[in-house]
Amino acid sequence: MLRNTEIQILITVLLSISVIGSAAAALCLSLPAAGLVLGISTLLISTTLVFTKWRYREIQKLSVYLKQITSGDYQLDVRDNSEGELSLLKSDIYKVTRMLSEQGTVLHEDKVKLTNAISDISHQLKTPLTSMIVMADLLRDKRLEDHKRVEFTRNLQIQLERMEWLVSSLLKLSKIDAGTISFKKEQVLAAPLIQAATGPLLVPMDIKMQTVKIEGDQQASFIGDFKWTTEALINIIKNAVEHTEEGGEISIHFSENPLFTEITISDNGKGISKEDLPYIFRRFYKGKNAGDESVGIGLAMAYSIITSQHGDIEVKSQPGAGTSFQIKFYKQVI
């Protein structure tokens, strides 16, 4: 402590004041008065040094505490629940420590999510890449028959389109998760929205001889983003088409009330097993009834888009009895 320049200056100033005060008392009053002044000065200097030493020790404790924080130990509690400058400083340091701890937890979770996402993406890309490598090797064979060459070329094109869709979907999902997408807040009529979402799927429905039934309040609307909501509905309707047998029916109903606008998409297809229901919106999750081409990303994207627009989506299903998705866009009135 005594090596501290500030403390050396303090002691020098206090001693100088004591000497000057004692000398002045001796000259103006008497020697006993000078002794009294010197004694009181010595007592005050000693008290100041003791108090300074105590503060110095407390600051050293805080220094050790900060070193432990930098090493990753966020469990220490330095607060003493009393008044004073040091107590306020301890309280502020504790608050910063808790904040760093929470940020560290979030960063760790993000790191785990990133690792899992990379693992999932690698797994999803591995299958089509392996298939493409095999077909590319076969196409090198000059003795390969023409009809086989056409077949392998077509399969390569299918795998490339699948990979392009997967990468594009993952990019959209990552933007939504990162909050970099700014959803528009415009009035969206439910009827044109559903027409836009069913349009790209009319051909697959026709191939499977499926019928689609659309009904609802033509004036029903909500505040949201037409383009992105169309993307979400396409994925949900596509899921219904894939899991409904030939000749099946898909029904879409929409309505509006003072609390929310609701869109219900139902089918009479295979249904979803009870154990799969809690996980169908999880990225890359594939249920028991999922097709071989499914990668488990469409419903995850739909969920992210809807919930990012003050919406909610629920699913009800029974194996063999079909599935129903209930989408609600709530009014932004509290």
Q: What is the pLDDT of residues 22-43, one digit of tens each?
A: 777 677 767 777 777 777 777 7
Residue in the block written with tokens 């064979």: 141
The pLDDT assigned to 269 comes to: 85
In a domain, 125, yes or no: yes
pLDDT for residue 114 is more than 90? no
At which of 71, 101, 131 does a domain end?
101
Q: Which whole number is the average pLDDT over 92-116?
A: 75
Q: Quick one: tokens of 27?
A: 């000259």
pLDDT of res. 255: 94
Q: Can you read off the two tokens belonging to residue 103?
A: 């940020």
- Claim to verify: residue 136 and residue 242 sit in the same structural domain: no
Residue 108 lies in a domain: no
Cβ contacts of 178-182, under 8 Å, gap ≥ 24: 181/228, 181/308
Shared domain for 315 and 201, answered yes or no, is yes
In tens, the pLDDT along 164-188 reads 877 777 778 777 777 778 888 899 9
In a domain, residue 110? The reply is no
44 and 83 share one domain: yes
Residue 109 lies in a domain: no
Report whether 234 contacts 200 (CB < 8 A): yes
Q: Is the pLDDT of residue 334 over 60?
A: no
Determine the pLDDT at residue 317. Answer: 87
**What is the Cα–Cα distance from 86 to 299, expressed in whole angstroms?**
54
Per-residue pLDDT at 268 exceeds 80: yes
320 or 73: which leads in pLDDT? 320
Show the tokens assigned to 59: 């600051």
Strand partners, 186: 224
Phi/psi at 210 (5° precision): -95, 150
Q: Residue 150 falls within a domain, yes or no?
A: yes
CA distance 110 to 121: 16
Q: Is the pLDDT of residue 301 over 80?
A: yes
**Which of 109-113, 115-119, 321-325 comes out lowest in average pLDDT?**
115-119
CATH of the domain at 233: 3.30.565.10
- 259 with 304, same domain? yes
* Structural domain that includes position 29: 5-101
User: Which of residues 39, 72, 101 is at a domain's end?
Assistant: 101
- Report how far residue 248's alpha carbon sits from residue 26's, in angstroms, rounded to the nearest whole number: 114
Q: How would residue 254 be classed by pLDDT, with cut points 50, 70 and 90?
A: very high
pTM of the predicted protein model = 0.60
* Residue 163 pLDDT class (50, 70, 90 cuts): confident
